[in-house]
Every structure is written in C-alpha cells, then in structure tokens.
C-alpha cells in the first residue's frame, strides 16, 4: 500500500483495522469491482517481522480498439466505461469530430470467455468515413501504455494542425477554480480503496461537476470524460474546465483543446510543452491547485475575481 495512503487512513479514521501489525490480517474490504482487485501482500515496518497484508489494487488490462473490424490501437486501461474511452480516444486522434460520425461501439467476444470485454469495435455512421490510414503519420502505434499515450509520436505539430483556438467564454471566478481539485478528490471512490488511480472530470461554473472518471492512466481518464461528452452530443465543451488529479502533460492539453474545453486545472505541475501549447491556443492552464491557491501558467485573461 502507498505509504501516504496508509498514514492518511489512520489519520482520518478510515479502515481502522490496519492500526497495529497484529490486526492487519483482520482487514475487511468492499466487494470486488472491475476497477479494484484484492491481493495478498506482505508489509515491512522497522523493527517488526514481515506480516501478512491483504490489500486492494487498481486493475490494469489491455483494450484493443478496432475500426470496422480492423485493429487500430491497443491501450492499457482500467476496465469500465470502455465505450467512453474509445469515443474520447477517437476524438483526440482526429478520426471523429462528433457523435454523428459514430454508427456503433460494441465489445467483441463471448461473455465469460477469456479476454471477453477487452476488444471494442467501432463502426462509422452511414456516410461517415473513419479513415485511420489518413492519420497514419500521427498514430500512436501498436501499444499505448497507461502511463503516456503520446510517447513515440514523431510529429507533434501534426497533432496540432487539426486544432482550433479555444473560443471566448465567460471568465471563471478564481474561487471556483480553487475549489475544483478538492471536489474531484471527493468523487474518487476507487482511488479511496487503492490509491492507484488517476481521475478526470468536467466542471462548469453554471452546472457544477459533470462526468467524473477514474483510470490507471491519466490520459485514459481524460478520454473517458471526453467520450462521455461525445456520446451525450456535448462536444465542443465550450465554457467548461477539464479537471485532472495529477500533472498536466502535453497530451492532456491537446485532448482538452480537441474537445473544445476552455481550460485545464491540475493538482500537480504542467510540463513546459503543455504550457506553451495552452498559450498558443488560448487555453486557461492552472497547476498546483490545492487548498485555496493555484498557479496560472496560461490564459490568465480567462479568470476574474
């Protein structure tokens, strides 16, 4: 178990049975879920022998994405909300622009068979063409890891050619932006159990929090949120913010711009390329959003008192 998570559980009273090595074996867990798996581990503490330590971990499995039966990419993800993940992924890749381009998204394989649920096939809508070959020069390649979906791309500028600047919208109050990451943290049930999942959410100063999704991969959580917007026919997401539970990479900013978000708010630091890309496209980009404070790296004109 992550040490910080272990200490926090003791500090705020959750899972009190972990207090003291003698009671570790008495820990009780919630029912298994597609996102959480129970494992048998050992725990080491200074001056004590190794003890049995049942724990819960985030699940990671491959998902093969096919277009009209043809393999397109494989990503490592946490099972759940796969249709959203695929829809968001295809929007970020530039294969679709809205729900209207999608004819159907379905899992392949027989229920109960090995690997069932780990392959998804996408069919274009009548009259639409999902031309994967036309984007071959910016494809992710055979495998996208859960850690970094953009790794290995040779021409980042090719990704940006399809994007448009973030349009004007009503400015965001700084107090609203400051509240977002704490609100996101309260909506992460699987992280609460495992300490091993990232989260992303869509938030609006008018409607509050919308979809919140967790995944072992940061970019997967973002794709799931964007995919929910695609399937709800709410793209572009003008006037909304993308909230993420960790650092903000170039890819997250690129996905936010592709989906039409007005800004990104992250718990941790953005990368230098994320900042320059946000500035280039007029996106609000905030980092280290914790408590009542945050840093503004781009798009400060989108904030108001």
Active site residues: 148
Q: Whole-angstrom distance between the N-terminal and C-terminal Cα of the chain?
A: 41
- Reported as type and span, the H/E element at residue 182 is helix 174-185
Residue 200's nearest CA partner among 219, 173, 174, 227 is 219
- For residue 236, the SS3 value is coil
User: Six-digit token pair at 202?
Assistant: 């869509």
What is the Rg, in whole angstroms, of the alpha carbon atoms belonging to the chain? 20
- For residue 292, the SS3 value is coil
**Residue 183 CB burial class (10 angstroms; 0-12, 13-18, ≥19):** middle
């Amino acid at each position: 178990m992550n040490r910080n998570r272990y200490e926090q559980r003791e500090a705020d009273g959750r899972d009190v049975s972990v207090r003291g090595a003698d009671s570790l074996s008495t820990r009780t867990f919630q029912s298994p879920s597609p996102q959480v798996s129970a494992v048998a581990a050992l725990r080491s503490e200074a001056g004590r022998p190794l003890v049995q330590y049942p724990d819960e971990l985030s699940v990671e499995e491959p998902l093969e994405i096919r277009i009209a039966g043809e393999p397109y990419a494989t990503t490592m993800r946490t099972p759940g909300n796969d249709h959203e993940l695929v829809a968001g992924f295809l929007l970020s890749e530039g294969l679709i622009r809205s729900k209207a381009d999608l004819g159907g998204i379905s899992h392949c394989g027989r229920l109960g068979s090995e690997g069932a649920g780990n392959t998804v096939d996408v069919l274009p809508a009548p009259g639409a063409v999902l031309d994967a070959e036309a984007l071959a020069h910016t494809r992710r390649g055979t495998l996208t890891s859960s850690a970094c979906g953009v790794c290995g791309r040779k021409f980042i500028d090719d990704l940006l050619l399809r994007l448009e600047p973030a349009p004007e919208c009503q400015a965001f109050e700084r107090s609203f932006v400051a509240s977002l990451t704490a609100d996101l943290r309260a909506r992460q049930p699987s992280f609460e159990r495992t300490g091993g999942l990232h989260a992303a959410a869509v938030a609006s100063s008018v409607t509050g929090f919308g979809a919140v999704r967790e995944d072992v991969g940061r970019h997967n959580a973002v794709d799931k949120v964007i995919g929910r917007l695609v399937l709800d026919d709410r793209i572009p997401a003008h006037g909304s913010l993308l909230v993420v539970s960790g650092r903000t990479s170039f890819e997250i900013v690129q996905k936010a711009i592709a989906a039409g978000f007005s800004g990104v708010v992250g718990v941790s630091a953005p990368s230098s390329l994320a900042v320059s890309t946000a500035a280039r496209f007029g996106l609000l980009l905030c980092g280290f959003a914790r408590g009542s404070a945050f840093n503004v790296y781009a798009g400060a004109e989108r904030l108001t008192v």
